[in-house]
Chains A and B, each alone.
With several copies, the nearest count.
Chain A
Amino acid sequence: NIFERKQEAKNPYLRVVDVTEDTVDPAVWGSNWPRQHDGYKQTVQASSTNFGGGDAHPAEKAEKEPWLTRMFAGYAFAIDYRDRRGHAHMLFDQEQTRRVTEKPQPGACLHCHASIIPAYRFVGKGDVMKGFEEVCAMPYQKAHELVDDKGNKLISHPVGCVDCHDPKTMELRVTRPGFLVGIKSLKEHQGTKDYDVNRDATRQEMRSFVCGQCHVEYYFKGDRKTVTYPWSNGLKVEEIEKYYDDMGFTDWKHKETGAPVLKAQHPEFEMWNQGIHARSGVSCADCHMPYKREGALKISDHWVRSPLLNKSRACQQCHHYPEEEIQARADVIQERTHALMRRSAAALVDMLDAINDARKAGAGDEQLKAALAFHRKAQWRLDFVAAENSMGFHAPQEAARILAEAVDYARQGQIAAKAAPRAPATQPGK
């Protein structure tokens, strides 16, 4: 046993097969790096925590949080919106969601749900950026069925080794066009010109940036539905809001109130950035892919999942407290956030009711202008925390701040709706 262990310490990187930019199948890489591949395969497993996703049959979020249905009235998310689960399922879950099966979606969706760069390269005839833009603009089904010259399907795997690793050096790298462009615009805003993430980022930064490729707020820009990260004013909730407001962007018209509202999607990267862990240089991988020892080797656990399922490695490397204490700390943060989320949701629903009442009494868009503006602001904030997947853990005070603002705007919207002049056209002298 000890003999074995001493041997292991010697040569970790023996390659038995060649991997290239086109090797999307993780099993092939697995011949070279079986330990990482073993971990990767575990992401099919069901697993869940108090607030973390991961069940074998992920529940509709609206089961636990019924107000979501009203918040998303008129949008695809009202039809089907489930808990997330492991990486192995990402492509399947997207294919199956009624948001895709019942609503037309663009190829853009695939940007984060598949090992897609070879497809972009193929369509762009070598130019990944061009291919990316074209695939985004295709209908979802057409994009998904793309084949190469030999008739082989180009898109068939969820996120794989090639999406995060350079096949030659195994170094981390960012491949997603959305992130490459987004981080550049952010750095420019912060005063750094011509930022090239694969050239300029530190290794520790890369341990978060590879995740920031997908775990971010996005929108589809223009008619060609280009996946875009709205970061050119910064990453905070009000900075992103300003981005959308300035360009007059809106995701959909709310079915109950008619307000032009926004959808926030999984802003983990943005939220993490506001927290103390990010400030301290603690990366996504530190918690979600902690080192684990296999014999004499230390490897990154490629079973990406909730760190609360793995507290000894994920947290105790830095926090020398018993596991129960670590869990309790996370609980305090998440429960505070959850209670505030419910509070904001109640305020939002009251506002919706008030606007509906005003409409019934005859108030029109003009009279409800102020109320609808509050609706947009309140909902954006509430959704930003609700769609973020750590229930406030990634930035506890920031999450609470955002929810406090959500409450304030929702209640002000309610007040504005109640104050809106009723049936104005028939009011004389005004």
Chain B
Amino acid sequence: MRVLSARKLVALVAIALGTGLGVGLFTFTYARGLSYFSTDPRACINCHIMNDEYDSWGKASHHAAAGCVDCHLPRDTIPKYIAKAENGYRHSRGFTFQDFHEPIQIKPKNSRILQNNCLKCHGDLMHDIVEGSTTDVTSVTCVHCHASVGHGPTR
């Protein structure tokens, strides 16, 4: 492993704290919890449970434009690492205990991250239509019409 930058180290601690609770470092390292640092989509399929999303991402319109983290993690550094810790904890826990809801469903908080990321790339084009509401509950969400951009049609 390469020497970690200070920033990443801080993040690792955050993740480890989250992950440590009830799961233990074994899961985390064996299942490549560190892949949460990576922006390489292949990192996400260190858990086979993400295979479907990976495969479908590869066939959907954005695979050349955006990787998993571009859509699913916040852009700003601190929020990003908090989200990584939170999700890293939950995913590791889920993978170990196999007690999550299937089919996997995006959580409301992660939906908002997603919506923000659409706007990160497409905000200018969207200017007129989203004005005044982006991620609040009364907003018109992008996936209402574009549910297939990340992973192709689901139905």
| Contact status of A293 and B144, CB under 8 A, knowing A4-B116, A5-B135 | no
Instruction: Pick from A132-140, A190-198, A295-303, A413-421 the stretch touching chain B.
Output: A295-303
B139-A296 in contact (CB<8A)? no
B132-A169 in contact (CB<8A)? yes
| Contact status of A316 and B103, CB under 8 A, knowing A2-B27, A7-B133, A203-B140 | yes
A320-B154 in contact (CB<8A)? yes
| Contact status of A204 and B154, CB under 8 A, knowing A171-B132, A298-B126 | no
* Residue in chain B with minimal CB distance to A8: B132
B128-A297 in contact (CB<8A)? yes
Q: Give residues 75-92 of B contacting A (CB, 8 Å).
A: 76, 78-79, 82-83
Q: Chain A residues near B74 (CB, 8 Å)?
A: 3
Per the bound structure, the CA–CA distance linking A13 and B127 in Å amounts to 9
A231 to chain B, nearest CB (A): 23
Q: Which of B31, B48, B129, B153 contacts A300 (CB 8 A)?
A: B129
A4-B112 in contact (CB<8A)? yes
B64 to chain A, nearest CB (A): 19
B131-A4 in contact (CB<8A)? no
A286, CB-defined interface residue at 8 Å: yes
Per the bound structure, the CA–CA distance linking A243 and B103 in Å amounts to 44
A5-B30 in contact (CB<8A)? no
Q: Chain A residues near B30 (CB, 8 Å)?
A: 2-3
A312, CB-defined interface residue at 8 Å: yes
Per the bound structure, the CA–CA distance linking A280 and B143 in Å amounts to 13
B22 to chain A, nearest CB (A): 14
The count of residues in chain A whose C-beta lies closer than 8 Å to any C-beta of chain B is 35
How many residue pairs link A and B with beta carbons under 8 A? The number is 95
A291-B129 in contact (CB<8A)? yes
B65, CB-defined interface residue at 8 Å: no
| Contact status of A2 and B31, CB under 8 A, knowing A9-B48, A203-B140 | yes
A-B contact pairs, 28 of them (CB 8 A): A1-B98, A2-B30, A2-B95, A3-B79, A3-B116, A5-B116, A5-B134, A7-B134, A9-B132, A12-B132, A13-B131, A171-B132, A202-B138, A203-B138, A203-B139, A286-B144, A296-B48, A298-B125, A298-B128, A298-B129, A299-B128, A313-B102, A313-B103, A317-B146, A318-B145, A319-B155, A320-B147, A320-B148
Q: Identify 19 new A-B residue pairs, CB closer than 8 A, beyond the known A5-B116, A281-B144.
A: A1-B98, A1-B109, A2-B96, A3-B116, A4-B112, A7-B134, A9-B132, A12-B131, A202-B138, A204-B138, A286-B145, A297-B125, A298-B125, A298-B126, A312-B102, A312-B103, A313-B102, A317-B103, A319-B155
When A and B form their complex, which 3 residue pairs have the shortest distance between CB atoms, in order from nearest? A3-B79, A318-B155, A202-B138
Interface residues of chain A, those whose CB is within 8 Å of chain B, are 1-7, 9, 12-13, 169-171, 202-204, 207, 280-281, 286, 291-293, 296-300, 312-313, 316-320
Interface residues of chain B, those whose CB is within 8 Å of chain A, are 27, 30-31, 48, 74, 76, 78-79, 82-83, 95-96, 98, 101-103, 105, 109, 112-113, 116, 124-129, 131-140, 144-148, 153-155
